[in-house]
A and B are shown apart, each in its own frame.
Chain A
Amino acid sequence: MAKRKTDLGTLYKGSPGQWSWIAHRVTGVAIILFLFAHVVDTAVVGWGPDAYNRVVAVYHNWFVRVLELGLVAAVLYHAINGVKIMVFDFWPGSTRYMKQLSIASTGLFLVAMIPITWIMGRDILNLSLGWNL
């Protein structure tokens, strides 16, 4: 087992590039799995107002709203990190600034998430705790 851990040393090096590479995949898989479900729930439009409104009521549950916040975060992260990947791909010289660009893109994501978390989190608190924020 100890041998395996050292084998993994190269794969999970812990540099910013490694972590964003993992995060890009995790968010990508999460988004496509949601998309498959989202195709089904949207298709229910074809069964008319009663059926569709019942399905959409799922999104009014506070816990589903927490997952929804995660979805928005995943899309935003994947988008910003995707731009970073393309910068490295098309301007190879920029890899010298990989650390700075990783910090910049992660920072942009975190800053964007502040107002989004406030807006969506307000609804989550209102729905779960009966608050009126």
Chain B
Amino acid sequence: MAIEAAKRPPSTPSRRALGHGTGRERPAGGLELWSWLFMRVSGVVLLFLAVGHVLIMHVFDGGVSRVNFGFVAVRWQSPFWRTWDWALLVLALLHGINGLRVIVQDYVK
């Protein structure tokens, strides 16, 4: 796949390919700009939701060894954790699938 990307005409190398890259270039406008913005806004929210979820469920207080049906039942009694998990699921799916789309865009022209 990398070879495909390298086949691009040398006249239009992206800033990223030249090693100056700082992530994606900001799209000029339209839906792509909203997609670019969504990745950043959802990224900031996921910074708290996903990192918090991972630390709570996998690192602190025994991690995944304490997780069973009863643990989940008690946890989802709370509207706070239900909202947290729902928001995490929705944002992570959108952020992740859009991320796959961005990767495909780099190789498929």
The interface of chain A, by Cβ under 8 A from chain B, is 4, 7-8, 10-13, 15, 17-18, 21, 24-25, 28-29, 31-32, 35, 39, 42, 45, 48-49, 52-53, 56, 59-60, 65, 68, 71-72, 75-76, 79, 82-83, 85-86, 88-89, 95, 98, 116, 119-120, 123
Shortest beta-carbon distance from A17 to chain B in Å: 5
Chain B residues near A53 (CB, 8 Å)? 68-69
Q: With CB as the reference atom, state the residue of chain A lying closest to B7.
A: A7
The interface of chain B, by Cβ under 8 A from chain A, is 2-3, 5-7, 13, 16-23, 26, 40, 43-44, 46-47, 50-51, 54, 58-59, 63-65, 67-70, 72, 89, 92-93, 96-97, 99-100, 103
Q: Are A95 and B69 CB-contacts (below 8 A) given A8-B6, A79-B46, A79-B51?
A: no
Q: Is the CB of B70 within 8 A of A49?
A: yes
A85 to B102, CA, bound (A): 15
Contact for B96 among A7, A32, A76, A116, CB less than 8 A: A32
**What is the count of residue pairs linking A and B with beta-carbon distances less than 8 angstroms?**
114
Q: Are A86 and B7 CB-contacts (below 8 A) given A32-B97, A45-B72, A68-B58?
A: no
A7 to B9, CA, bound (A): 11
